[in-house]
Amino acid sequence: MEVQLIKIEKRNDVSRSIYFLTPVLAIFLTLFGGGIIFFILGFNPIEALKFFFITPISDLYGLSELLIKATPLCLIAIGLSFCFKSNNWNIGAEGQLIFGGVVGGGVALLFYNHDGFYVLPIIILSGAIGGMLFAMIPAILKTYFNTNEILVSLMLVYVAKLLLDYLVVGPWSNPEGFNFPETRQFSESARMPILFDGLRIHAGIFITLIAVFLSWLILYKTYLGFQIKVSGFSLKTAKYAGFKGKTMIIIVFMISGACAGLAGVGEITGPIGQLHRNISPEYGFTAIIVAFLGRLNPVGIIFASLIVALTYLGAETAQIFLQVPKYTGQVFQGMILFFLLGSDYLLFFKIKFLGFKKNEL
Amino acid sequence: MNTKLKVSEISKIYPGCIANDKVSLEFGSGKIYALLGENGAGKSTLVKILSGVVKPDEGKVFLNDESIKLNSPLDAKKNNIGMVFQHFNLFETLSVFENLSIDSDKKNEDLRVLVNDILKKYNFKIDLDVPVLNLSAGQKQKVEIIRCLIRNPKVLIMDEPTSVLTEQETDDLFVSLKQFSKDGILIIYITHKLKEVLSLCDEVAVMRKGKVVSVSNTIDEKIESLANKMVGENLNTIKKKINNFKNSEEILKISNLNFKSDDPYETNLNNLNLSLKKGECLGIAGISGNGQNELFQILSGEIITEDTSIMFRNKEIGKLNPRERREYLMAFSPEDRISQAAVPELKIYENVALNNFKSSNFFEKGLVNEKKIKEHSKKILSNFSVNTDNVELKSQFLSGGNLQKLIIGRELITSPELLVCFNPTWGLDVGAINYIHETLIQINEQGKSSILISTDNDELLKLSDRICVIYKGKLSKIMSADTVTAEKLGILMGGGSID
């Protein structure tokens, strides 16, 4: 039997501009792949893609919705970039988001009949702390018991989900709510201020923008950022330089958890206004794609969050106009990640064909 | 069945080094041959050529007077050349039998019969149906050997087979190898351990710097004579003036230090004791893998130990991490330039910032002091004649020599009292080697101390005031460098004893 021999070699120098352009290529490939899928489903691909990516943002309301979706995605991805840059694989941002939401929501319910400027900041802060504490579980288990943070953080997502479920069905359910699995509507003082009349866009976007700026500052201008950068390239070097590895792992998880917790609290005090079972359409998982699509770079993550947010909106419009399930949005998110990883592989490695050879043992 | 294997005029050149220089050797079945040499002498390259992993640039291999082509490991298998590598190539979670059947084209039932015959014949006690991860290192090696025996090898090559074995397992292995030899298998045994050569092999070929320097019967050899051939006597280098440090102040003292590792590929250190005077250079010789890595990490603080076991300038520092030790004016240059001492993807000034501690002021109140780091980097680039003045350059664009100058410069610019370096000139060209040697001599002249862990004996004899040898995690007696010869070092490095 003749077999083709293949060899995979690492490329030595990858240019920086191409490194930041491949995500754009991945997006175009996704559009192309999406077009093919729509074609197979019997739609005109151009029309379908227009419904998916243009129609949703063709008016002010659409743009506001885009920002509403991008706000938590960007915030979580910013937090995750700290973990991923230092080789800590926090996959459980969804759980940290939910737990932050639960803590923030609990505080909001506690202040149910209070008015005052201080209510919202306390809720936001407690949500951040909730997410942070929840993220510290995998961090501490990793540093002191050598567990795998991927598994622990992922499994904790289900813990958080079930906890939320229990609370909204049981102790925290709305006494006047006819046993619907949801809490009371939060009072006005516990809600994010709306920025423009008639649009849902709220002040949470400023939290995200501040987080983007702070993350840039920390990653590029501080000792902590330097440690994160070096650890990401080589743990051996980090050890040799005397960085306190354990402390750093816990800090990056705390930052990442706090961001996810803030995103959760932003959702419940923003568009949702109460706690119920589905406070997040898996933002915590999708943000992983956003973080990588944005190359773990604060500015890149802003753009990536807008594009991925669009897949959420597009899926909703497509559901209405094309009668395809809204899960098409997840198909697109999956394709983005697939094409990004694929083009990255070809970016960092070259494949050599060594010709045919007889296969004998 | 008589087997004759002959390599003729084999040459293999890698960029910057001649791995094999017209190597010619002849082997015949019924004997066990040793291929002896230091690290980098060219043994491994020759063996890789025989097993088809590497293609020679020139030269031919003859099996029973017939020229054979070895373009791939498959060719070696076809020609009945079997090879057991130093690191095992087994699937840990599969059973022994599954591992054996993977690359066999025999039917499973036939294979089982054959394997059972082999087990019986050589008195191997291995359960075929347990996962490989449950086996000891010695048993895993037997699985590798059985894998070769299934193919009825004419030639069996063993690459440093005893490095992971216990004494008892080593003895067992030797019994088996002698039996294979009696059964007509030609055995080539690669090692740097002199005692093993004498107790196991019939003939020994010594390689040095890519060339075969001697072929002889082991009966005619002694540990000393082999050591001599292995390390060579070409010590034409300018030796440093050796000083007497009897009255100098003691700067470092290690007492009764033990290190036990959980990793079977690491070496445990047993009862280390050493002391170092101000201005002195202590050389630590040894064949790599005898505990140098672990010793370096213990000195640098990457591995922490009992507080009291290391005293530096009268302070207990055993529990301090590298950054804290730098505060006390220690500096470290690790062996691995590319993945430990520096990050190639980072810019030069960022790599300089790795040598940071409180008094370096590279980071103030948690913020990066880029201006300070860059100024400092410029100074290093010019003081240590690194071939660029652009501190923004990514370090991956520096040659090995320039990168090493940058690293040594980075470590020395803070005027440390002690520099610990591990193979500082490994893989460098002559110019860079000389520069680094001069630098190391200079710091001793300025009254600073150094510890030089190196596998290059020429370098050690040139730079050290006192020398000791590390072998299997133990330090030999520390000797004054003027009483030490390359021959003595060779004996100690091979596990022999002198006096």
Q: Over the stretch B201-227, which tens digit does the pLDDT of each residue have?
A: 999 999 988 889 989 999 898 888 888
How many whole angstroms separate alpha carbon B437 and alpha carbon B463?
A: 7
Both structure tokens of A352: 């050599």
Confidence at residue B235, expressed as pLDDT on a 0 to 100 scale: 42
Best mutation target, B101, B300, B343, to test chain A (most A CBs within 10 A): B343
pLDDT grade, residue B499 (50/70/90)? low
Residue A320 neighbours by CB distance under 10 Å: 11
How many whole angstroms separate alpha carbon A361 and alpha carbon B330?
A: 56
Please give the share of chain B, as a percent, with pLDDT higher than 70: 96
Q: Which of A222, A239, A240 sits opposite B367 (nearest CB)?
A: A222
Q: What is the pLDDT of residues B285-305, one digit of tens each?
A: 988 788 999 999 999 999 988
Confidence at residue B179, expressed as pLDDT on a 0 to 100 scale: 92
> What pairing do the DSSP bridges indicate for beta strands B466-471 and B474-475?
antiparallel
Both structure tokens of B338: 């590319």
Both structure tokens of A260: 């996810």
- In this prediction, residues A73-98 reach a mean pLDDT of 96
Chain B: nearest CA to A31, how far in angstroms? 33
- In this prediction, residues B20-49 reach a mean pLDDT of 87
Contact residues, chain B, for A245 at CB < 8 Å: none
CB contact under 8 A, B345 and A240: no
CB contact under 8 A, B366 and A242: no
Q: Which residues pair with B311 in a beta bridge?
A: B253, B316
CB contact under 8 A, A233 and B346: yes
How many whole angstroms separate alpha carbon B297 and alpha carbon B274?
A: 16
CB B488, CB B478: distance < 8 Å: no
Nearest CA in chain B to A237: B340
Residue B231 has pLDDT above 80, yes or no: no
Contact residues, chain B, for A234 at CB < 8 Å: 339-340, 343
Best mutation target, B107, B336, B340, B421, to test chain A (most A CBs within 10 A): B340
Q: In chain A, which residues touch B (CB < 8 A)?
A: 12-13, 220-226, 229-230, 233-234, 236-237, 239-244, 360-361
Query: In three state form, how does the secondary structure of chain A look?
Result: CEEEEEEEEECCCCCHHHHHHHHHHHHHHHHHHHHHHHHHCCCCHHHHHHHHHCHHHCCHHHHHHHHHHHHHHHHHHHHHHHHHHCCCCCCCHHHHHHHHHHHHHHHHHHCCCCCCCCHHHHHHHHHHHHHHHHHHHHHHHHHHHCCCHHHHHHHHHHHHHHHHHHHHHCCCCCCCCCCCCECCCCCHHHCCCECCCCCCCECHHHHHHHHHHHHHHHHHHEHHHHHHHHHHHCHHHHHHCCCCHHHHHHHHHHHHHHHHHHHHHHHHHHHHCCCECCCCCCHHHHHHHHHHHCCCCHHHHHHHHHHHHHHHHHHHHHHHHHCCCCCHHHHHHHHHHHHHHHHHHHHHEEEEEEEEEECCC
Nearest CA in chain B to A227: B354
Residue A209 has pLDDT above 60, yes or no: yes
pLDDT grade, residue B191 (50/70/90)? confident
Q: Please give the DSSP secondary-structure letter assigned to residue B307.
A: G
More confident residue, B430 or B331: B331
Q: B residues 193-252 near A, CB within 8 Å?
A: none
Q: Kindly write down the DSSP assignment for every residue of B129-165, as one continuous string.
A: TSBGGGS-HHHHHHHHHHHHHTT--SEEEEESTTTT-
Backbone angles phi, psi at B89, to 5 degrees: -110, 70
CB A123, CB A104: distance < 8 Å: yes
Q: What is the pLDDT of residues A253-262, one digit of tens each?
A: 999 999 999 9
Tokens 């622990």, located at residue: A152
Best CA proximity match to B333, nearest among B445, B426, B237: B426
Measured in Å, how far apart are chain B's first and last C-alpha atoms? Answer: 46
pLDDT grade, residue B487 (50/70/90)? confident
- In this prediction, residues A61-76 reach a mean pLDDT of 96
Please give the share of chain B, as a percent, with pLDDT higher than 90: 46
Tokens 């479920």, located at residue: A165
Confidence at residue B1, expressed as pLDDT on a 0 to 100 scale: 61
Confidence at residue A138, expressed as pLDDT on a 0 to 100 scale: 97
Q: Please give the DSSP secondary-structure letter assigned to residue B469.
A: E
Contact residues, chain B, for A223 at CB < 8 Å: 363, 366-368
Please report the ipTM that was assigned to this predicted complex: 0.79
Chain A: nearest CA to B398, how far in angstroms? 13
Q: Which of A220, A233, A236 sits opposite B345 (nearest CB)?
A: A233
Q: What is the pLDDT of residues A324-356, one digit of tens each?
A: 888 888 999 999 999 999 998 888 888 878 777
Q: Kindly write down the DSSP assignment for every residue of B258-290, as one continuous string.
A: EE--SSTTS--EEEEEEEEETT-EEEEE--TTS
Contact residues, chain A, for B78 at CB < 8 Å: 360
- Rg (Cα) of chain B, in Å, rounded? 25
Q: What is the set of domains in chain A, with CATH numbers? A: 2-358 (1.10.3470)
Angle between helices A60-85 and A245-267 (to 10 degrees): 160
Both structure tokens of A186: 């939060």
Nearest CA in chain B to A358: B74
CB B125, CB B138: distance < 8 Å: no
> What pairing do the DSSP bridges indicate for beta strands B58-63 and B4-14?
antiparallel
CB contact under 8 A, B396 and A229: no
Confidence at residue A359, expressed as pLDDT on a 0 to 100 scale: 54
Confidence at residue B242, expressed as pLDDT on a 0 to 100 scale: 65
Chain B: nearest CA to A358, how far in angstroms? 11
Confidence at residue A241, expressed as pLDDT on a 0 to 100 scale: 93
pLDDT grade, residue A361 (50/70/90)? very low
| B339 touches A: beta carbon within 8 Å | yes
Both structure tokens of B454: 């190196």
> What pairing do the DSSP bridges indicate for beta strands B363-364 and B211-217?
unpaired
CB pairs under 8 A between A and B: 70
| B307 touches A: beta carbon within 8 Å | no
Contact residues, chain A, for B321 at CB < 8 Å: 242, 244
CB contact under 8 A, B339 and A244: no
Within 8 A by CB and 6+ apart from B222, the residues are: B198
| B353 touches A: beta carbon within 8 Å | yes
Alpha helices in B400-468 (DSSP H): 400-412, 430-445, 457-463
CB contact under 8 A, A234 and B301: no
pLDDT grade, residue A131 (50/70/90)? very high
| B348 touches A: beta carbon within 8 Å | no
How many whole angstroms separate alpha carbon A222 and alpha carbon A229?
A: 11
Confidence at residue B134, expressed as pLDDT on a 0 to 100 scale: 85
Within 8 A by CB and 6+ apart from A27, the residues are: A293, A307, A336, A339
CB B340, CB A233: distance < 8 Å: no
B372: burial class by Cβ within 10 Å (0-12, 13-18, 19+)? middle
Q: What is the set of domains in chain B, with CATH numbers? A: 4-231 (3.40.50.300), 236-329+417-499 (3.40.50.300), 344-414 (no CATH)
| B154 touches A: beta carbon within 8 Å | no
Chain mean pLDDT for chain A: 92
| B359 touches A: beta carbon within 8 Å | no
Chain B: nearest CA to A81, how far in angstroms? 18
| B340 touches A: beta carbon within 8 Å | yes
- In this prediction, residues B460-480 reach a mean pLDDT of 91
CB contact under 8 A, B321 and A242: yes
A279: burial class by Cβ within 10 Å (0-12, 13-18, 19+)? buried
Tokens 């005692």, located at residue: B195
Residue A197 has pLDDT above 50, yes or no: yes
More confident residue, A163 or B133: A163
CB contact under 8 A, B363 and A225: no
Q: Is B471 helix (H, G, I), strand (E, B) or coil?
A: strand
> What pairing do the DSSP bridges indicate for beta strands B449-453 and B418-422?
parallel
How many whole angstroms separate alpha carbon A1 and alpha carbon A59?
A: 61
Q: Is B246 helix (H, G, I), strand (E, B) or coil?
A: coil
Contact residues, chain A, for B324 at CB < 8 Å: 242
- Position B184, amino acid: G
Chain B: nearest CA to A13, how far in angstroms? 9
Q: Which of A220, A240, A360 sits opposite B322 (nearest CB)?
A: A240
Confidence at residue B87, expressed as pLDDT on a 0 to 100 scale: 78
Q: Is B242 helix (H, G, I), strand (E, B) or coil?
A: coil
Ranked by mean pLDDT, the top range of A149-153, B6-10, B315-319, B354-358 is: A149-153
Chain B: nearest CA to A44, how far in angstroms? 46
pLDDT grade, residue B385 (50/70/90)? confident
CB contact under 8 A, A237 and B77: no
Chain B: nearest CA to A213, how far in angstroms? 15
Q: Is B466 helix (H, G, I), strand (E, B) or coil?
A: strand
| B445 touches A: beta carbon within 8 Å | no
Nearest CA in chain A to B362: A223
Q: In what order do the strands lie in the sheet with B81-84?
A: B81-84, B155-159, B186-191, B32-36, B203-208, B211-217
Residue B234 has pLDDT above 60, yes or no: no
